[in-house]
Amino acid sequence: MGGKSCFGVLSNRDAYNSRKIDDALRDENLSNKEIKLLLLGAGESGKSTLFKQMKIIHHNGYTPDECLGYRDIIRSNILQSMKSLILATYKLDTPIESAENRAHSAKINEYDQEAMLHITKIWTEELGKNLEELWNDEGIQKVYRQRSKFQLLDSTEYFFANIKRISKSEYVPNEQDVLRCRVKTTGIVESEFDFNNIKFKLFDVGGQRNERKKWIHCFDNVTAVLFVTSLSEYDQKCYEDDQTLRMKESLVLFDEIANSHYFSDTPIILFCNKEDLFKEKIKTIPLTVCFEDYRGPENDFDSAVNFVKQKFLSLNKEEREVYSHVTCATDTRNIKKVFDDIKEIIIKNALNQV
């Protein structure tokens, strides 16, 4: 049944017509308004992956030419990941086992940052084969299992699982490859899209500490803040100091945002991201490495997620509107569903601002 009015209970037909009128009024009020969404979070949280998903969901995805533009970035990610793994074999005193692979590693270590910037010149199918052999070396796998002790891209395993395809001369990245590749966001990147005839503008701002001073320029007339935190990084340290746990850094940042006077009337939507990686990691690494006060079952995904969510939500001292969602930013269906769920929150706040 519909809602009540001073004339009694609305019929189903009246309720339907009332909704149609409400929708028409909403569309008219919002037709000339730009809904501004601010994507915030610490570095490596998955913000830029969410940003790419908006293009896939609302802009018919990436063309083959656009995907091709990511090929060198993906190959650079792979080479950089292997260089990090090789360095970790020394740091963790875990030698590469095969003599042939040790020779491969010496060659790969010769590639400096300049070479990485011109990866088209150095990448061959033979290099790809050498990288694959190194990846399968037991010494490299041993340090990979200890990856929380050093800096390594989340997408490392995914890309090495696809190294044969990526190494081919005719390789054109697919959308999943594009979502998985890492390019550090510097400055402010924006994207516009229409959703139900309403204009949205999404801002992605660099999450590393030296980038955050630029956030202030985005704070005017924000309709909603999308704050992204990585669930899986509770045992990993920040790039900036290699000491602070990333989850702790994210909590400090969320505290600043949730209680900022800039967002006193702005809903905040918390994305607890990388649930897929968290689900695997929690099986072997207890949450207590980050939160000594966690008393739930040691390897229980649901208990751990709820605990982390409450850690963030409890920081909302001003009791502002904060909504939380558990997400996997590389899963397009998951992000589309979440965005469908939050759109009414965003539109409602936009109407209040009209």
Annotated active-site residue 208? The verdict is: yes
Residue 337 assigned to a binding site: no
Residue 354 assigned to a binding site: no
Residue 206 assigned to a binding site: yes
Residue 319 assigned to a binding site: no
Q: Where are the alpha helices (DSSP H) in the chain?
A: 12-30, 47-58, 64-68, 71-91, 99-109, 113-117, 119-122, 125-135, 138-144, 156-161, 163-167, 175-180, 246-258, 275-281, 301-313, 332-353
Annotated active-site residue 246? The verdict is: no
Residue 128 assigned to a binding site: no
* Phi (first) and psi of residue 189, to 5 degrees: -115, 135
Residue 91 assigned to a binding site: no
Residue 180 assigned to a binding site: yes
| CA distance to 74, 75, 111, 120, 127, per residue, from 114 (Å) | 16, 14, 8, 12, 17
Annotated active-site residue 53? The verdict is: no
CA–CA gap between residue 223 and residue 267 (Å, rounded): 8
Tell me which of 49, 156, 236, 327 is the catalytic residue: 49
Annotated active-site residue 204? The verdict is: yes
Tell me which of 204, 229, 246, 249 is the catalytic residue: 204
Residue 235 assigned to a binding site: no
Q: Which residues contact 111 (CB under 8 A, 6 or more apart)?
A: 79, 83, 122
Q: Which of 86, 76, 150, 87 is nearest to 114 (CA)?
A: 76
Residue 204 assigned to a binding site: yes
Annotated active-site residue 170? The verdict is: no
Residue 302 assigned to a binding site: no
DSSP annotation of 202: E
Contact at 8 Å (CB) between 64 and 178?
no
Residue 189 assigned to a binding site: no
Residue 46 assigned to a binding site: yes
Q: Provide the CB-side half-sphere exposure for 92 (13 A, CA).
A: 21
Tell me which of 71, 75, 147, 182 is the catalytic residue: 182
Q: Which two tokens stand for residue 312?
A: 């963030």
Residue 208 assigned to a binding site: yes
Helical (H) or strand (E) element with 92: none
Q: Environment class of residue 221 by beta-carbon count within 10 Å: exposed (0-12), middle (13-18) or buried (19+)?
A: exposed
* Phi (first) and psi of residue 125, to 5 degrees: -65, -30
Residue 281 assigned to a binding site: no
Tell me which of 44, 132, 175, 233 is the catalytic residue: 44
Tally: H helices and E strands in the chain: 16, 8
Residue 181 assigned to a binding site: yes
Residue 44 assigned to a binding site: yes
Residue 207 assigned to a binding site: yes
Tell me which of 94, 151, 165, 208 is the catalytic residue: 208
Contact at 8 Å (CB) between 306 and 321?
no
Residue 253 assigned to a binding site: no
Q: Provide the CB-side half-sphere exposure for 15 (13 A, CA).
A: 9
Residue 71 assigned to a binding site: no
Binding region for Mg(2+): 48, 185
Binding region: 44-49, 154-155, 179-185, 204-208, 273-276, 329
Which residues are marked as active site? 44, 49, 182, 204, 208
Binding region for GTP: 44-49, 154-155, 179-185, 204-208, 273-276, 329
